[in-house]
Amino acid sequence: MLNKFTLTLLSTIVLTACGSSGGSSNTPQEKHSPNDGLAKSLPKTDVTPKTDVTPKTDVTPKTDVTPKTDVTPKTDVTPKTDVTPKTDVTPKTDVTPKTDVTPKTDVTPKTEQPKTNAEIFDSFNRDGGKFTSSKKWISLKFDDENKNIQVLPLYEKIAFSEDQEVKALLDNSGQLLGYFGYTSFSHIEPNINNPGDESVTHYSLPMLEMDKAQMMRPLNNINYVGSFYYVYDNEAVIALTGRVSGNYSAKEKRLFLNLFGQYNESWELKENGLKRGVEVKENGEIFGQLYDDKRKPNATFDGGIYGKNGEIVAGTLEYEDHTIEKSSWKGVLEAKAQ
């Protein structure tokens, strides 16, 4: 069957070739062989262009889709690392100037620079101290060079008597501890009962002011010798002077003092009528009472021991007598270490 088909195909091709070479057209007589359908089916081989459909491979531009890798600009998002300027926030380290707060170490100088004598004196009232009256009559001026104290009147018509003494109390290094003394003066003023006349009033003031910051209890035994000035209220014009002697016992931490007045008065400093001497507190403070030679309580003593080496004992004396005798008195005391 195949050979027969082949022979038929060859004969057809030969006839066709001959016809064309003759130059005559036989097309009107064109006949269709039963095998023409088969021959026509051959062009199906041209259908192979289906292979052109392969452009699907062009779809590969999906590989272009890889620009997703371009999406990587997310890596540009890394500018988050730029956000690191938080590191600029580190200027918190600049906050360290707190270290400047260390000047607390500068606070230490408080334990140091001692006050000058002028500064110590300026810290006083400079009006005589405890026993000045409600009316201020005088003011005191300190001469640091000569260590002298001058008494100045606050009113025009004040006349000072020659009977007065005020002195600076110093430690062994020359530092001012306080002042001690008395002054007497007269004040002239109009007589309210007789217009045109003047009245004269006489005053005697025991004076004492001490720097409490320099009060302290001694570490060693010390003997003291000094004086006291005092005035009886019923004899205010007259300032009296007495002597003081005593000693401090480091073992007992007690001070023993004896006072002898200008009128032959005699007193001893005690805590009570049975126990001699008085306790000296750790800060150097002293408080006790004087007992007379009849063992009767008299003036109170309020004072202390001053100076790095316990150079000065100083304090005020005051007695209020509510008996008929009215023998109230007040005074100031100072005694130096020997």
Tens-digit pLDDT profile for residues 2-61: 444 544 455 445 444 444 444 444 444 444 444 444 334 444 444 444 444 444 444 444
Domain of 292, CATH number, reads 2.40.160.90
Phi, psi dihedral angles at 45 (to 5 degrees) = -65, -25
pLDDT at position 29 is 43
Q: Is position 151 within any domain?
A: yes
Strands 148-153 and 138-143: antiparallel
Q: Is position 110 within any domain?
A: no
pTM comes to 0.65
Of 36-50, 179-193, 307-321, 322-336, the range with the highest mean pLDDT is 307-321
Go through the chain and tell me how many residues it has: 338
Q: Is position 245 within any domain?
A: yes
Tell me, letter by letter, the H, E, C secondary structure of the chain.
Answer: CHHHHHHHHHHHHHHHHHHHHCCCCCHHHCCCCCCHHHHHCHHHHHHHHHHHHHHHHHHHHHHCCHHHHCCHHHHHHHHHHHHHHHHHHHHHHHHHHHHHHCCHHHHHHHHCCCCCHHHHHHCCCCCCECCCCCCCCEEEEEECCCCEEEEEECCCCEEECCCCEEEEEECCCCCEEEEEEEEEEEEEEECCCCCCCEEEEEEEEEEEEECHHHECCCCCCEEEEEEEEEEEHHHCCCCEEEEEEEEEECCCCEEEEEEECCCCCEEEEECCCCCEEEEECCCCEEEEEEEECCCCEEEEEEEEEECCCCCEEEEEEEECCCCCCCCCEEEEEEEEEC
Domain that holds residue 121: 117-337
pLDDT at position 269 is 98
* CB contact set of 287 (below 8 Å; sequence gap of 6+): 278, 300, 301, 302, 303
pLDDT at position 207 is 96
More reliable by pLDDT, 290 or 67? 290
pLDDT at position 324 is 80
Q: What angle do CA 74, 80, 84 make, to 5 degrees?
A: 160
Q: Is position 39 within any domain?
A: no
Q: Is position 71 within any domain?
A: no
More reliable by pLDDT, 330 or 235? 330
User: In the chain, how many domains are there?
Assistant: 1
Q: Is position 67 within any domain?
A: no
More reliable by pLDDT, 85 or 172? 172
Q: What's the CA gap between 272 and 287, in Å, rounded?
A: 11
pLDDT at position 64 is 46
Query: Does pLDDT of 74 surpass 80?
Result: no
Q: For 248-268, what is the mean pLDDT?
A: 98
Mean pLDDT taken over the chain: 78
pLDDT at position 236 is 77
Q: Is position 7 within any domain?
A: no
Q: Is position 296 within any domain?
A: yes
Q: How confident is the model at residue 94 (pLDDT cuts 50, 70, 90)?
A: low
Tens-digit pLDDT profile for residues 28-45: 444 444 444 433 444 444
**Amino acid letter, residue 189:** E
Query: Does pLDDT of 224 surpass 60?
Result: yes
